[in-house]
With several copies, the nearest count.
Chain A
């Protein structure tokens, strides 16, 4: 392999020229303003996806919001965030000041089409964001966009409305809590999405034998971590066979091998969420491990792998 690491790891997606495909998943790295960021250089990342932004500030759900389950984590944070204004005035400028070259993807959430659109417009216009990730899949708030994520027509309409006001590419983040993920993906493609982001959390619950009540104050929560990886791989595989959009893959990734499995499923980039809670250095570790894992499995570079996997699909 005479290629440099950069040549081997770099990937191109709409709006995103990434030196490597690895990024923190939304909600698992705040706005880069967290203590993990003291432990390694964020410039090592391919990009960062920041916590959901809503039009107004949200205080989120009552506590407890987080619980452990076998192979995974349940969370019901409920889109807590300071609102798009504070994000534009404080969070993003701080992030850009510290890491001017780090591509930024902003996760956008809302209740109705109007506030999605307005939040997206402001983020797009700010010039501080490289792409939007439309969160139509938050299971943890009554009106968290899940209604958009489970109905193809609404998903398509919302995507189209956001596309209209956005000058940067729009990735739509899909919910796995649906009967037919391909139908939703096709709908957002028809709505003009530039890419997909999948998957958000599976809706789950844990009950406390002592209180006989749900462990989470919200009742249900979103399941993330290794437990959901097989579902993520299956959905990404299914969608990549039918829909031509690039996919930012996530769901239970915690190693370079997991990253490659996502690429084989059809990913063009990979986000990591829950794994950082266990391994604070998961980002530098995975990025460092990738080249040798690729060599082990005969993978020259990721761009070619993406093409190979995509062309294999089209034959089917």
Chain B
């Protein structure tokens, strides 16, 4: 059951020039805050009529904190970046289906592929899978070295493969370069999140393979609650027949039409 509540901002950190991490604390249960799910964040100045969807980037059950990592791209995220410690942030969540990882076992090999603001949900996923004893390989692409964030999490959770468009860190190239070079050995599952181009590349790369691939999609969202039909996607041959906010944001690459 989604709930709407005020969290208090306990940390606001700048990760790169335009990417920020907020740590938000609550005294209530976080049991529904699973990897791959998201929250709808109220923009606190009261001007914006719509909440903004942000993926859950980390959950610390001990401190009752969740992390949101966001890039400042417009008016809403600009407002978020202005908040200072102590501010109240109203979240509606947790929403969406989340990654289906219940049946993973120790030693399972898993590949994560991400870029841009697609990384936050993968960070939480990597951490969780790592703790479950899976062998997690993560491929991440950035434009340039200065834009890198979140890579420690992936290194801690397993193995990190990094590419930058200008070669300033990791391999020269992008996630596609890494994917092409990659040898698949006993990979049990692929998860990807990032820009549309990345998702398409992943979908294509594994199209003829038997390994299950899950893609986490983004969309402008009105409600996040399956009401406004502002986030539809075509699945299983239907036309705009599923809500990214409700049946998603995670869809099987074999079923979703990008």
Binding site for B on A (CB under 8 A): 27-30, 33-36, 38-39, 59-60, 62-68, 70-73, 75, 77, 80, 225-226, 274, 276-281
Contacts and interface: CB of A to CB of B under 8 A. Distances in A.
Contacts, number: 95
A80 B228 contact: no
B227 A63 contact: no
6 contacts: A34-B225, A60-B229, A60-B232, A70-B47, A72-B49, A280-B4
Interface stretch (B146-154, B167-175, B216-224): B216-224
B37 interface: no
A63 B219 contact: yes
B4 A30 contact: no
6 smallest CB-CB distances across A and B, nearest first, come from: A66-B230, A35-B225, A66-B222, A59-B239, A34-B226, A34-B227
Contacts of A34: 223, 225-227, 246
A279 B2 CA distance: 13
Contacts of B225: 34-36, 280
B232 to A, nearest CB: 6
Given A35-B246, A278-B51, A77 B228 contact: yes
B256 interface: no
Given A80-B240, A278-B50, A66 B220 contact: yes
Contacts of A62: 240
B228 A277 contact: yes
B230 A75 contact: yes
A62 B234 CA distance: 11
A68 B220 CA distance: 10
A60 B243 CA distance: 13
A35 B227 CA distance: 8
Interface of B: 1-4, 42, 47-51, 92, 95, 219-223, 225-232, 239-241, 246
Nearest to A72: B49
Contacts of B48: 68, 278
Contacts of B4: 39, 279-281
A64 B240 contact: no
Nearest to A31: B227
Given A60-B240, A73-B50, A65 B230 contact: yes
Contacts of B95: 35
B177 to A, nearest CB: 27
A67 B49 contact: no
B227 A28 contact: yes
Given A29-B227, A278-B50, 11 more contacts: A27-B229, A30-B227, A36-B225, A63-B219, A68-B48, A68-B49, A75-B230, A80-B229, A80-B232, A225-B49, A277-B222
